[in-house]
């Protein structure tokens, strides 16, 4: 009788979990291509050919589209291959991309749950609640809704596969299994730059462990070096040296950049770079100093064996993150950086919970985790609502910061919603300073808006401005072939003489 009752309880919990997942992530399926997704997927013609799967390993234009300059290109071959496969099988459909991101996020949830059970079998309920805390956390909505951030989910998925396979061994890992672990870890690293830290993290966690030999762990760190070499070979002509853009030119920069990502794993967002705050900008205290103090504090707690205080601090970080997330303009950009660090945080917290708490005080801990989950889920619903009113957030961001990214995304959304008159009115009512390399893109949007409204005079005016601004300082053009062809297809649909002249002009200047 008791067994039947427990089965029903488990079934109800599963149904409740499915309902919460549906309510939280269903709005994501209605979203379109935002930010770099517009250039990297929607108008990226490189994704239309299966042959480019191999080019993804040495030509980052395949990943980013021609719009993104080589100096800003990310080296993420696995994400590129994923984009190519999805585009060729399902077409460039945002619904498919968002649905697959949700499925992948679910996969990470189940792998995390299995991992926590393997770490400690004492209490499956607590392991499940910790996994739910990760799955429903509001900071991860950006990884679902911004398609380019799916690389964080891929990297975490393969990292957890490796972790589970190591702990699944009753005997020490043999050479054959080590090869499989090596491949999976390599796939994790190919997902995104931050995952070059995963071999090092596994080495630290399993160095005194019976499941895997130390020589294999040390060998895993070769993966990071292979990745750095691949990246260096794929971008040989780049001279830009901003470590924030993840570029590697020498051994010195390799080590410095590795430290940058290790720092991101510990404290995953930059107050100065992502969300400028006057209270911090007015002082000489940089984010690096804050991070340094934080790391020293953590090391001090470990040295003093204040493990419960350390766990409390980590839970406070997880609890405060949703509050930070609802501050106006502090969401949308940068939250994806939390995905992997949050995963590591959850694993470390669970691994260090004293056994007596898991057994004798499990009801108190479960109650606390349920409240923490509900609290986190509430903020996630707020974040989900904000995503479904994305144009308002971009508009608020523009009026607050005058940042061109907010302006561009707001314009893209207006275009998708066929708010052509609003686009023209907005541009005429605001003084807009745009970098010269992006100027032709904005004139192109205005040109399209005027064309859809049938305003031939304005259409030709913006087209001429677009042509004039498209000439670079040192020759060459800012508008790429992908963008020009997309523009040509749009202009072809306009039914006035000026549009036909522009199509002919595009063919001549091609």
Q: What's the confidence (pLDDT) of residue 157?
A: 92
Which backbone phi and psi does 318 adopt, to 5 degrees? -65, -40
Q: What is the mean pLDDT of residues 118-147?
A: 81
Residue 320 or residue 114, greater confidence: 114
Q: What's the confidence (pLDDT) of residue 27?
A: 81
Q: What is the mean pLDDT of residues 188-214?
A: 76
Question: Read out DSSP for 313-329?
Answer: HHHHHHHHHHHHHTSTT
Q: What's the confidence (pLDDT) of residue 256?
A: 57
Average pLDDT over the chain reads 69
Answer yes or no: is pLDDT of 132 > 80.
yes
Report the distance separating Cα 124 and Cα 161, nearest Å. 19
Q: What is the mean pLDDT of residues 97-122?
A: 87
Under the banding of pLDDT at 50, 70 and 90, the label for residue 237 is very low
Which backbone phi and psi does 62 adopt, to 5 degrees? -65, -40
**What pLDDT digit, counting tens, does each position of 244-260 carry?**
444 444 455 555 555 56
Answer yes or no: is pLDDT of 72 > 60.
no
Q: What is the mean pLDDT of residues 275-300?
A: 44
Q: In the chain, where are the structural domains located?
A: 94-373, 390-509
SS3 category, 93: coil
309 Cβ neighbours under 8 A, 6+ residues apart: 301
Under the banding of pLDDT at 50, 70 and 90, the label for residue 70 is very low
Report the distance separating Cα 43 and Cα 452, nearest Å. 19
Answer yes or no: is pLDDT of 83 > 80.
yes
Q: Could you tell me which residues are beta bridge partners of residue 4?
A: none
Q: What percent of the chain is predicted at pLDDT more than 70?
A: 56
Report the distance separating Cα 346 and Cα 429, nearest Å. 48
Q: What is the mean pLDDT of residues 317-332?
A: 46
Structure tokens at 419: 């708010």
First to last CA, the chain: 77
Report the distance separating Cα 76 and Cα 60, nearest Å. 8
Asked which of 112-116, 288-292, 378-382 is least confident by mean pLDDT, the reply is 288-292
């Amino acid at each position: 009788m008791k067994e039947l009752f427990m089965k029903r309880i488990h079934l109800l919990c599963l149904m409740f979990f499915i309902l919460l997942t549906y309510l939280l992530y269903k709005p994501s399926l209605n979203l379109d291509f935002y930010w770099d997704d517009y250039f990297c997927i929607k108008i990226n013609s490189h994704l239309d050919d299966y042959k480019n799967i191999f080019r993804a390993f040495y030509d980052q234009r395949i990943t980013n589209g021609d719009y993104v300059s080589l100096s800003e290109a990310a080296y993420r071959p696995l994400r590129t291959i994923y984009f190519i496969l999805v585009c060729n099988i399902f077409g460039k459909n945002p619904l498919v991309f968002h649905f697959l991101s949700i499925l992948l996020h679910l996969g990470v949830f189940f792998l995390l749950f299995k991992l926590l059970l393997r770490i400690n079998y004492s209490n499956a309920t607590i392991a499940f609640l910790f996994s739910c805390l990760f799955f429903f956390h509001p900071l991860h909505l950006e990884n679902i809704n911004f398609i380019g951030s799916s690389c964080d989910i891929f990297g975490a998925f393969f990292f957890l596969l490796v972790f589970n396979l190591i702990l699944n061994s009753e005997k020490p890992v043999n050479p054959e299994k080590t090869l499989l672990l090596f491949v999976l870890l390599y796939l994790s690293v190919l997902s995104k730059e931050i995952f070059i830290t995963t071999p090092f993290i596994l080495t630290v966690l399993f160095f005194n462990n019976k499941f895997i030999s130390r020589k294999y762990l040390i060998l895993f760190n070769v993966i990071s070096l292979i990745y750095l070499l691949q990246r260096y070979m794929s971008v040989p002509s780049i001279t830009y040296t901003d470590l924030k853009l993840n570029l590697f030119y020498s051994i010195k920069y390799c080590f410095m950049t590795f430290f940058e990502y290790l720092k991101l794993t510990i404290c995953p967002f930059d107050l100065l770079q992502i969300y400028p705050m006057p209270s911090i900008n007015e002082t000489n205290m940089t984010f690096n100093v804050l991070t340094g103090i934080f790391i020293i504090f953590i090391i001090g707690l470990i040295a003093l064996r204040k493990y419960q205080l350390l766990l409390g601090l980590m839970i406070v970080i997880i609890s405060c993150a949703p509050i930070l997330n609802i501050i106006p303009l502090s969401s949308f950009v940068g939250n994806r950086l939390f995905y992997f660090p949050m995963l590591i945080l959850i694993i470390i917290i669970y691994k260090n919970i004293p056994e007596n708490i898991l057994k004798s005080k499990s009801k108190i801990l479960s109650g606390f985790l349920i409240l923490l989950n509900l609290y986190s889920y509430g903020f996630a619903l707020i974040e989900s609502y904000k995503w479904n009113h994305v144009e308002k957030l971009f508009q608020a961001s523009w009026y607050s910061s005058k940042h061109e990214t907010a302006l561009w995304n707001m314009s893209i959304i207006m275009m998708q919603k066929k708010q052509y008159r609003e686009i023209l009115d907005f541009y005429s009512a605001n003084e807009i300073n745009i970098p010269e390399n992006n100027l032709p893109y904005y004139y192109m949007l205005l040109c399209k808006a005027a064309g859809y409204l049938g305003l031939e005079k304005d259409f030709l005016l913006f087209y001429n401005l677009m042509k004039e601004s498209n000439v670079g300082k040192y020759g060459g053009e800012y508008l790429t072939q992908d963008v020009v062809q997309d523009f040509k297809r749009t202009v072809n649909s306009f039914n006035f003489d000026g549009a036909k002249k522009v199509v002919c002009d595009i063919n001549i200047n091609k």
